[in-house]
Structure 1
Amino acid sequence: METPELNHFDVILIGSGTSAYYCATPLLEAGKKVAIIDSRPFGGTCALRGCQPKKYFVANAEAVAMGRQLVGKGIEAAPRTDWKALQALKGEFLEGRSEEEVEDWREAGATPIRGEARMVAEDAIEVDGRRLTAETIVLATGGTPVQLDIPGSEHVGVSDDFLDLPDLPERILFVGGGYISCEFAFVAAHAGAKVTILQRSDRILKNFDGEMVGVLLEAAKELGIEIRTEEEVRAVEKVGEALKVTTSTGAVLETDAVFEAAGRAPNLSVLDGHDGGVETNRSGVVVDEFMRSVSNPRVFAIGDCAASGMDLAAVADEHGKAVAKSLLGDELVRPRLEVVPSATFTIPSLASVGLGEDEAREKGLAFQVHKNLSISWASSKRIGENHAGYKVLVSEEDGSILGAHLARHDAAEVINVFALAIKHGIKADDLASFPWAYPTMSSDVKNMVG
């Protein structure tokens, strides 16, 4: 029989993704006794079911897109995606990662535990009949794909299913106009599928600048992606090998696969039974500015399961770092989230940081808008890019960067330059006069602010 001492920890983390890593690592280095529990393979969504495996598909789509754009401009024939080989490449990346994670945690001094965790008291977790207690419990359980509740929902897959497709269907319908749906749509279309997106509101990618989204819409139209706005799925019926999708407009669309990709909901199964005294809402665990539960001070929530901030990997990491500092210091620490760039890996990619035009006007700020298409620039011409643009907001008061919004190749990389400029008060004139390595995508920054 195990003694109570073996089942008591300084900190129990539920979840093993990157936010848990950034939280647990400093605690272990400080000699804290830490348990890490996960019901799924260790490593978390970003490493195993999201960001990293997704980028294998995106990189392939970018290579195919660039090859096609350059046919007749130095390339003789357009490349084609080998879906099975692409899946094999992704599989090589994932093979053994979870087991390595567990071993790494053990070597770091943590106690990794595989199993379904549930809070059974304000300071206790039960895993497969084993009761664990802790001074502090950190929830890092992430999110789960939203699933449709409609007739025929058993025929609808989620993002995990798309990432694991052994073969690419000829026709695919994605439900939702967020970043997951749009990224997968461009991947599938460049791999040869006929793609449709259904979006219930009047536009896709609402968190990005409307004009930059317009640039992306032109690229989608040229690629043959059909985007149907203000239209929802009402039912899915399997007819032979095909699926018939009935929409809110009465239309019946025939496809070979349907994927719900409208987003993710916070994974709060650890709180089933409400025995932990942790208050939640639709967005997740209700926390204060220090990521501490407002109803149970023993509990912190970080990442996508917390009702705080954007569901981004970088945000989750900052949550984890802040909680570790709080637990090791004399004062509670807020996450450093003053400036957070975001991107969606479509083709072209979209990226954004800082204020949008409407936000800047609502704040009463005086600013100039530097915007244009950039397809005539050498950086676009040399890769055959036909859809590219930018918008940068510059303060009239002091010349600082208020916001930047990009739609072009490598936008997700270049946006980090603008994020650093906003964070550290680097002025537009400084960016324009800086001797950038040239010619590079980041050297185009000088043309965006000059």
Structure 2
Amino acid sequence: MTEYTYDVVIIGSGASGTTVAFEAQAAGLKVAIIEERSWGGTCVLRGCDPKKVLIGAAEARNLSTRLRGKGIKQAASISWQDLMAFKETFVEDVPESRLESFQEAGIETFFGQAIFQDSHTLQVGKDLLNAEKIVIATGAVPSSLKVEGQEYIQNSDDFLSLKELPESVVFIGGGYISFEFASIALAAGREVHIIHHNSEPLKKFDPDFVAALVSNMKEEGVHFHFDIDITKIVKNNGKLHIDGKNNFSLNTDLIIGATGRTPNIAHLALEKANIDYTKKGITVNEKMQTVNNEHIYACGDVAASKGAPLTPVVSMEALLVAKNILGKDEKINYPAIPSVVFTSPKLASIGISMEEAKANPEKYQIKSHDTTNWYTYKRTNEQLALAKIIEDRETGQIRGAHFLSEEADYMINYIAILMKASLTLADLNSVIFAYPSPASDLTALN
């Protein structure tokens, strides 16, 4: 057994772990980082980045479909093999490049599972790492559905690595992963089903817009099965047969489970370091420190923080951890965080929910707009474009916003800037935007 001593040891090389490692190393600390899977983490290898490459192809296909007969002769079709090969160009060099960047910076690297021996010591294979500070940034992993035949259920990692996309695909779960993957598979011309255990998919988004999105996706061809509890999956003559309560029955070629993600902590032996955790992740305070050990931090998807499991939030938490390791005494303060479901159309949200706004009518004003017939959306023949702006009645400042359109991701980012600057939509009257563009529509939402 070989022993090493460091100022900081980070477990996990994703967005949060990498941020802390480079910040600490730049400050002159002796740093080591541990990775058990592939250098780079979830977002760049098997999450946001490769997913968005696939979505780009779906967007191109959907746009050409909407404009067919309006200047475009035929809709584009997706070659799954070519698309996956293109996706691979974004991820294939990441592990080696990330590893080289650590080594060139003087950050020592260890490959394997990290196991706590005590609150200052980690074992990785035959190595013992002693550290003054430890940062847990191991992220989350896909949850598994406990059901007979669960071995036939694949996960989001598998979907993003499919060499062939079969003719029929079932997605289990009513979250953004199911919806986004369903949009991709549908655009690729496959038969697509979404099964959800209740009738409230995408729970964190405006229910009116969710209902409109579901209706639109149904019209496009997605089959939704709500209030279905799966009881058994069997393989029969090459097909997967799904049974559910109330006589539900469905045959398919591929099943993707997207029922959420679980903090990646099972192998860490957290009890040996007296680290508290729940099913939501490692318990941390506002400084991202673990409850019983101020020298141990957790950030990103593995932490049970108030931040949403989104890459920008992960990076924000990591920067705060780095500052506190370097002697600052800062508490996390989350701004309004935009969230987007990259379906077609896209669904986006920021700030307070519609539920909260409706519960406090004396405080908030809701401005609803059907923008389907606005020039921005008509020129690409969008069939559905909606917006809701929630304003503070006293100040006129924006407290929340919800969009459903192909441009929803752009619009929600504009609103994020306005909310950060405490501006109103009326304040934009003195700003000249490029016209015609989605930004030039902002003042019309007032």
Q: The TM-score by the shorter chain falls in which range?
A: over 0.9
Match of residue 296 from structure 1: 293
Match of residue 329 from structure 1: 327
Question: How big is the shift at 1:382?
Answer: 1.5
Structure 1 length-normalised TM: 0.96
Between the aligned partners of 2:7 and 2:268, the Cα distance in structure 1 is 20
Between the aligned partners of 2:117 and 2:375, the Cα distance in structure 1 is 61
Give a deviation string over 1:257-296, Cα, whole Å, max 9, x none.
1110111100003423621211110101011111110022
- Larger deviation, residues 107-116 vs 41-50: 107-116
Between the aligned partners of 1:216 and 1:313, the Cα distance in structure 2 is 24
Among residues 104, 114, 117, which one is paired with 2:101 in the alignment? 104
Question: How big is the shift at 1:188?
Answer: 0.4
Match of residue 416 from structure 2: 419
Among residues 409, 425, 429, which one is paired with 1:428 in the alignment? 425
RMSD: 1.4
Question: How big is the shift at 1:22?
Answer: 2.0
Question: How big is the shift at 1:201?
Answer: 1.7
Between the aligned partners of 1:133 and 1:360, the Cα distance in structure 2 is 50
Among residues 370, 374, 379, which one is paired with 2:371 in the alignment? 374
Give a deviation string over 1:292-341, Cα, whole Å, max 9, x none.
1002222111001001121111111111000011111242x223312111
Between the aligned partners of 1:374 and 1:211, the Cα distance in structure 2 is 15
Q: Following superposition of structure 1 onto structure 2, how do residues 299-378 of structure 1 map, counting pairs within 5 Å? A: 299-308=296-305, 309-331=307-329, 333-362=330-359, 365-378=362-375
Q: Is 1:257 equivalent to 2:254 in the alignment? A: yes
Between the aligned partners of 1:273 and 1:142, the Cα distance in structure 2 is 15
Contact 1:119/1:270 (<8 A) preserved: no
Write the letter of the residue equivalent to 2:322. Answer: A
Match of residue 146 from structure 1: 143
Q: Is 1:66 equivalent to 2:63 in the alignment? A: yes
Between the aligned partners of 1:135 and 1:401, the Cα distance in structure 2 is 44
Contact 1:34/1:111 (<8 A) preserved: yes
Q: Following superposition of structure 1 onto structure 2, how do residues 151-300 of structure 1 map, counting pairs within 5 Å? A: 151-272=148-269, 274-300=271-297
Write the letter of the residue equivalent to 2:311. Answer: A
Q: Following superposition of structure 1 onto structure 2, how do residues 77-116 of structure 1 map, counting pairs within 5 Å? A: 77-116=74-113
Contact 1:321/1:335 (<8 A) preserved: no
Write the letter of the residue equivalent to 1:243. Answer: L
Contact 2:122/2:130 (<8 A) preserved: yes
Question: How big is the shift at 1:218?
Answer: 2.5
Identity of aligned residues (%): 37
Between the aligned partners of 1:259 and 1:236, the Cα distance in structure 2 is 12
Contact 2:155/2:257 (<8 A) preserved: yes
Q: Is 1:39 equivalent to 2:65 in the alignment? A: no
Between the aligned partners of 2:74 and 2:35, the Cα distance in structure 1 is 47
Question: How big is the shift at 1:144?
Answer: 0.4
Contact 1:290/1:335 (<8 A) preserved: yes
Write the letter of the residue equivalent to 1:129. Answer: K
Between the aligned partners of 1:27 and 1:297, the Cα distance in structure 2 is 17
Contact 1:118/1:269 (<8 A) preserved: no
Stretches of structure 2 that go unaligned for 5 or more consecutive residues are none
Stretches of structure 1 that go unaligned for 5 or more consecutive residues are none
Match of residue 382 from structure 2: 385
Between the aligned partners of 2:16 and 2:440, the Cα distance in structure 1 is 33
Write the letter of the residue equivalent to 1:339. Answer: A
Between the aligned partners of 2:315 and 2:353, the Cα distance in structure 1 is 25
